[in-house]
């Protein structure tokens, strides 16, 4: 039991690291298909990573240790986050140590290092991107917390595995209007946090509109690879948080048997496929908002999450 659990924990992390580029590739492929472009291969993200790791890193003259260290920190934070989220099983030793609020903290850490590193070299774009990123983050974090609080209230705990257990062990099907609010809010937060449309366009390099890309302009080779990988992991993590809160079916709950994990794996891949297609569809259908509309979008998300809380309190009270 004891060591096997730690092994599974390691497995979950490795699975996240391995699947994240695939998920990103799938979203990219769906998007291309929906936009009538010839789609890149599903394995394109892996090729990008291999290419970048083989290149020689170039650093700006006045880059400090912060600039060099940030990619590792960001990547590590994302892997840790993946360790907490019960994407395959609820038997996670790491999740016992850190709850969902720590998860938000991990995302914040990654964001802060990213922004600091972008400011470190002192280019105009880096600073601009960092400031924009911090503004978005300032708005998404409370919204994300409120979404999580919805789930916390329902399950009576802040631990993600317990939330999954709670949902899966309910005897009858129950509809929760508050979760509907939270789900919509969560999707909005997901879009904003992962630099997707309508807040940011992950494929653009247009100076005036980019946010995330502006911060990574000065990076190259392995640093850039880690950052790209971390951002794919982030998207993967967010998708998994969404599954945990709103669609936990398939996640192995009782003990860790290889069969249960295999089933959970299948379910996860299926859910990721659907989520990726939906994300691509949404992105294709929406146009990018002007930057000063972003607060409006995110206030809406915050508001919906709070409304979910209120509705929950009213209807249960």
Partner 1 sequence: MPAPTFSAQVLQTLAGALLLISFAMLAERRSRHLVTLLIWQGAVLVTSTLLVAATAHLPHLFFSAVLTLVLKVGVLPWILLRLMRRLGIERDNEPLVNVPTLMLVGLGLVIFAFGLAQPVTALATTVIRQTLGIALAVILLALLMILARRKAFTQVIGFLALENGLFFAATTTTYGMPMVVELGIALDVLVGVFIFGVFFFHIREQFDSLDLHHLESLKED
What residues line the site for partner 1 (CB under 8 A)? 172-178, 180-181, 184, 295-296, 299-300, 303-304, 306-307, 310-311, 313-317
Structure tokens at 74: 């960001």
Contact, 100 vs 158, CB < 8 A?
yes
Q: What is the closest distance, in whole angstroms, from the C-beta atom of residue 303 to partner 1 in the complex?
A: 5
| Closest approach of partner 1 to the CB of residue 158, in Å | 23
Q: Considering the complex, what minimum distance in angstroms separates the CB of residue 153 from partner 1?
A: 15
Question: What span, in angstroms and rounded, lies between the C-alpha atoms of 184 and 196?
Answer: 16
Whole-number minimum distance, CB 139 to partner 1, in Å? 9
Q: Which is nearer to partner 1, 239 or 304 (CB)?
A: 304
Nearer to partner 1, 38 or 170 (CB): 170
Find the shortest distance in angstroms from Cβ 317 to partner 1.
7
Q: Please state, in angstroms and rounded to a whole number, the distance separating the CA atoms of residues 40 and 43.
A: 8
Shorter beta-carbon distance to partner 1: residue 122 or 177:
177
The nearer residue to partner 1, 81 or 192, going by C-beta atoms, is: 192
User: Contact 251/86 with Cβ under 8 angstroms?
Assistant: yes
Cα dist. 45→22, 23, 73, 200 in Å?
7, 9, 21, 20
Report the residue number, 89 or 167, with the smaller CB distance to partner 1: 167
Q: With 0-12 CB in 10 A as exposed, 13-18 as middle and 19+ as buried, what is 166?
A: middle
- End-to-end Cα separation, the chain, in angstroms: 42
- Shortest separation between residue 292's beta carbon and partner 1, angstroms: 11
The DSSP string of 240-302 is HHHHHHH--TT-B-SS--HHHHHHHHHHHHHHHHHHHHHHHHHHHH--PPPGGGHHHHHHHHH
Smallest distance from partner 1 to CB 297, Å: 9
- In angstroms, the CA 119 to CA 113 distance is 10
Nearer Cβ to partner 1, position 15 or 179? 179
Give the tokens for residue 62: 């006045």
| 8 A C-beta contact, residue 129 and residue 214 | yes
Nearest residue (CB) to partner 1, 177 versus 255: 177
């Amino acid at each position: 039991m004891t060591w096997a659990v730690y092994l599974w924990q390691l497995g979950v992390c490795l699975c996240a690291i391995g699947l994240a580029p695939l998920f990103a590739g799938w979203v990219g492929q769906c998007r291309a298909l929906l936009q009538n472009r010839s789609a890149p291969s599903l394995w394109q993200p892996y090729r990008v990573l291999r290419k970048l790791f083989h290149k020689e890193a170039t650093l700006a003259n006045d880059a400090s240790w912060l600039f060099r260290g940030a990619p590792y920190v960001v990547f590590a934070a994302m892997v840790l986050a993946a360790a907490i989220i019960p994407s395959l099983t609820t038997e996670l030793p790491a999740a016992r140590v850190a709850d969902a609020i720590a998860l938000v903290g991990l995302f914040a850490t990654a964001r802060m290092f990213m922004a600091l590193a972008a400011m470190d070299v002192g280019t105009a774009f880096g600073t601009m991107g960092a400031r924009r990123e911090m503004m978005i983050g300032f708005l998404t974090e409370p919204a994300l917390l409120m979404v999580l609080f919805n789930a916390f209230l329902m399950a009576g705990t802040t631990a993600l595995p317990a939330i999954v257990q709670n949902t899966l062990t309910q005897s009858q099907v129950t509809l929760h209007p508050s979760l509907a609010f939270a789900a919509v809010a969560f999707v909005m937060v997901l879009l904003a946090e992962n630099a997707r449309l309508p807040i940011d366009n992950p494929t653009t390099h247009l100076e005036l509109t980019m946010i995330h890309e502006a911060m990574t302009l000065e990076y190259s080779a392995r640093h850039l690879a880690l950052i790209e990988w971390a951002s794919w992991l982030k998207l993967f993590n967010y998708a998994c948080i969404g599954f945990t809160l709103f669609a936990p079916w398939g996640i192995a709950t009782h003990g860790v048997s290889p069969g249960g994990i295999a089933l959970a794996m299948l379910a996860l891949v299926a859910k990721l496929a659907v989520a990726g297609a939906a994300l691509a569809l949404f992105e294709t259908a929406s146009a990018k908002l002007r930057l000063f509309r972003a607060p409006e979008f995110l206030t809406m998300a915050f508001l919906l999450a709070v409304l979910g809380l209120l509705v929950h309190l009213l209807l249960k009270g």
